[in-house]
Amino acid sequence: SDKNPIKAVADKAAAALGDDGPAEGVPGRPGAESPPVHEPTDVRGPLPPKPDQAAPATVSPTGIPTEADPTTQGQGDPYLTTAQGNRLYDTDHSLKAGARGPVLLQDHHLREKITHFDHERIPERVVHARGAAAHGIFQGYGSAASVTKAAFLQKDAETPVFVRFSTVLGSRGSADTVRDTRGFATKFYTSEGTFDLVGNNIPVFFIQDAVKFPDVIHAGKPHPDREIPQAQSAHDTFWDFVTLHTEATHHTLWNMSDRGIPRSFRMMEGFGVHTFRLVNAEGATTLVKFHWKPKLGVHSLVWEEAQIAGGVDPDFHRRDLADAIEAGAYPQWELGIQTFPDTPEQTFEGIDLLDPTNIVPEELAPVQPIGLLTLNANPTNFFAETEQVAFHPGHLVPGIDITDDPLLAGRLFSYLDTQITRLGGPNFAQIPVNRPHAPINDMLRDGMHQTAVHSGAAPYRPNSLDGGCPFLAGADTRAYIEAPVTVPQAQKVREAPTSFADHFSQPRRFWRSMSPVEREHIVAAYTFELGKCYEQAIKERGLRVLANIDPELCEPVAAGLGLPAPEPTVPIETVEPSPALSQVGRAWPLDGRIVGIVTDGAGDLDGVRVVREIVLRGGMVPLVIAPSGGKLDSEGEPITVQRTFATARSIEFDALLLAGVPGPGGDAYGARDAKAGNGEPNGARPTDPRVLLMLGEAFRHGKAIGGWAGAQSALEAAGVPADAPGVVTGETGTGVLEEVTGLLKNHRVWERFAARV
C-alpha cells in the first residue's frame, strides 16, 4: 500500500497538520499503521446508468442540447470528491487540532457533507406518499387510430414510460399492504410531449367535486391530535366523512372489497376514473374511459395475510415489483378504452359520464385494447426517479382532451401547484425523470433550480430581436388545440347536477356482482372497520348507508357490530350485475408466482431439485425453505437454501410444497437442534412449530398446499386435512407440483373459504 497514491497524500496531509501521531488501531487515520486506510484497491469508473434509465435528451429553448452529461450525474469520477470536484483523502474524520482536540470550523468537507445531509429530505407527497415505480415501454396497437390522433397510440409506435404505484393515505415509510386505494400513474414520454395518465386501481372516486378533496383527505389521514392511526381507514374521522357524504359509498365499497388489498401491483387493474375526450385527425370527438388490464389478472391478499405482511414485510408490494422485474418476469398491462358518443348530455345508457362515482359496466361498453405496457427496468435511484417524478393530469397530448368532470377540473390545478412546494420551485420539468423526450422550446425563464442555460435576448412573442423565434405551430404541425366544445350558457352556481344524486344503485351493482366469497370478505371488512370506530353514531350511520346499498350487506355487518339492522331509506331497486367486476372464477398466467418448498437435509432432495427446475421453467420463483441457511448437501448438486424456518413466513408464498421424506414414518421438518426427538433422519422429531404456523396460515389463506412421500404427517400435525380442497398429496414431487400449479392459476383455492361460509 506504500505505492498507493491516496495513502501517500493522506500521510502527507497528516504530517502537514502536525498530527502528533496516530492513536493505535484507529482505522483510516492518516498515518495509522494497522489496519490501513480504507482505499479503493481497484480504481474503476462508476457504473453507467442502464440504457433506458439515462436521462432523456432534451434541447434547451436555444437549441443547446441539455442531454444529461455523466459528469453532472454524480459518480463521474472513480475517486471520492467534494461537490466541487476536489478529491478527498478521508471522509471518516473531522479536521481537528490534534487527535483529541476540537474540531476546526475550517473543515470544508465536514461542513459540506453535514449541510447537504441536513437538506436531503423534501416534503413527501400530501397524498400517495408511499410508492414504487418502474421504467417500461408502451406499444400502440393502432386500434385507437379512428378515435384519436395521439401519435403514441398509432400502430407500432413505441414510447418509453415511467409508472409509479402508490397507496393514498400512508406516509412515505408506511406499510404496503394496508387497506387503501392504490395509485397507478403513468408518464408516457411521447414524441408530441409528455402524457400523464394519473389513475387509480379503483374506477370511481370518493367525491364528485374537487373542492371536497382536502376534506376527504383530512378525514382519512391520522387524527391531528395524536397522529394515529397511520395508513388506515378504520377510524372515526374516515367513517364520519364517508357516511355524511354518501357519494363516497361506491368508492368505499370498492375499498372494503378485495380490491383494497391487492396481491401485487402487477395484479391490479388501473383506471383513468374520469371520462376523457379523444380527438381524431378529422377533429371528431369521442368520450372514453381508460382501463389498464393486467396480463396476470386481478388478485388480492386476504385480510389476515395483509396484516401479517404489514409487520413482517412492510415492503411487500415494492419488493414484489422489483423482484419480478429483476427476474425478467416483466409485468404487462393492456391499455383499453370504453368509448361513448360525445353527445351534449354526456351520458351513456342513463349513466352520467361526468360523475366520477360512476362506472360503465364492461358488459354495456366493452373495453377495447389499444396498446401494451411492459415494465422492464427498475429505477437506478429511488429518490431521483420515484420520489421526484411529477405527474399531472394536465400533461396532455394532441388527440387527448378533458371533459367537464368537476373532480378533474380541480386536479388540473392541484398537481402543478403541489410540485412547486414538493420539488422546490417551478423548474421541476428539468429533473431528468420529468424531462420530456419531445423537443422543448418554452419561454419560461429563471426561478429556483434553473438548470437550462437559455440564450437569446427576447423570451417573448412576437419579437424582432431573436429572429421572431420561436414560431407557433398549427394543427398540421402538431399543436395541442383544445377541442372546440360548446359550453351552454348558464348561471354561476355552487351546486351539483341532479343526476349526481343517486349514490346507491352503482354500489348495489358492485355488491351484487360479487361471488359469495368476495361478499364474505366485504362483510368482514365493514364489520372490522366500523367496529374500530369509537362513536356509536358513526357505526349506526354506517349501517344506514349499507342498508341503502343492500339489506343483505347490512344485516351481517349489523350482527357483527351487535346493532340492529336499520331499514333502507331509498327504494332497493334491482340492478343488473356486472360479472366483469368479480375477481373469482378464471385461470391466469403464473409469471413470477412464488412457490415455497419446505425441506430439510433428510428430505427427498432429488425431488426438490426436479421441482425447483420445473417451477423455474414455468416462469415462477421457487424458494427453498430449510431449518438453517447455507446449502443442503447430498449426492448431486448442493441446493441453496433461500429461506430458513426463522426467516420464512407464509405470506411470501403463493403455494407451499412439502418435500417428501423417504423411509418409514415419523414427522419431518424438525429443527435440527430440536430437543425432543432423537435427531435421526425420519425419526420421531416433532415438526418445527414455524413450519406448522406456515402451513396453518397458508391453509387459512386459501393457498394451494402440496406434499409428497411422507409429508402427510407434517400436514396432519398442522391440522391441515389431507382431503381438504386444494391440499394435494402424492408419491412424487412432479405429480404434486402439476396439481398445485393447476390450482394456482385460480389464485386461491376458493372452495376453502366457501366451506367456511
Rounded to whole angstroms, the Cα distance separating 63 from 58 reads: 9
Q: How far is the CB of 49 from ligand HDE (least distance, A)?
A: 21
Choice among 38, 108, 116, 128 that is catalytic:
128
> For residue 158, what are the β-bridge partners?
139
* CA neighbor of 436 nearest in space, from 74, 138, 160: 160
In terms of CB distance, is 427 or 548 closer to ligand HDE? 427
Q: Cell 440564450 appears where?
A: 455
Q: How far is the CB of 736 from ligand HDE (least distance, A)?
A: 42
In terms of CB distance, is 411 or 593 closer to ligand HDE? 411
Q: How far is the CB of 182 from ligand HDE (least distance, A)?
A: 8
Q: How far is the CB of 199 from ligand HDE (least distance, A)?
A: 5
In terms of CB distance, is 184 or 340 closer to ligand HDE? 184
Long-range contacts from 537-540, C-beta under 8 angstroms, 24+ separation: 538/236, 538/239, 538/240, 538/243, 539/239, 539/563, 540/566
- Geometric angle at alpha carbon 205, from 203 and 211, rounded to 5°: 150
In terms of CB distance, is 171 or 515 closer to ligand HDE? 171
Q: Is 200 considered catalytic here?
A: yes
Rounded to whole angstroms, the Cα distance separating 646 from 693 reads: 11
Rounded to whole angstroms, the Cα distance separating 228 from 576 reads: 40
In terms of CB distance, is 210 or 298 closer to ligand HDE? 210
In terms of CB distance, is 127 or 575 closer to ligand HDE? 127
Give every CB contact of residue 188 below 8 A, 6+ residues apart in sequence.
138, 152, 159, 160, 161, 194, 195, 196, 197, 397
Alpha-carbon distances, residue 304 vs 179, 262, 310, 525, 629 (angstroms) = 11, 13, 10, 11, 28
Q: How far is the CB of 690 from ligand HDE (least distance, A)?
A: 37
Q: How far is the CB of 295 from ligand HDE (least distance, A)?
A: 21
In terms of CB distance, is 198 or 597 closer to ligand HDE? 198
Binding site for ligand HDE (CB under 6 A): 125-128, 131, 164, 166, 183, 185, 198-200, 205, 210, 213, 273, 389-391, 407, 410-411, 414-415, 418
* CA neighbor of 521 nearest in space, from 720, 310, 306, 244: 306
Choice among 108, 109, 135, 200 that is catalytic:
200
Name the residue number minimizing CB distance to ligand HDE. 183
The sign of the torsion formed by the CA atoms of 613, 614, 619, 620 equals negative
Q: Is 128 considered catalytic here?
A: yes
Q: How far is the CB of 497 from ligand HDE (least distance, A)?
A: 17
567 grid coordinates: 331499514
Query: Does an H or E element contain 348, and which?
Result: strand 347-348
Rounded to whole angstroms, the Cα distance separating 258 from 546 reads: 17
Rounded to whole angstroms, the Cα distance separating 239 from 604 reads: 53
- Residues identified as active-site: 128, 200
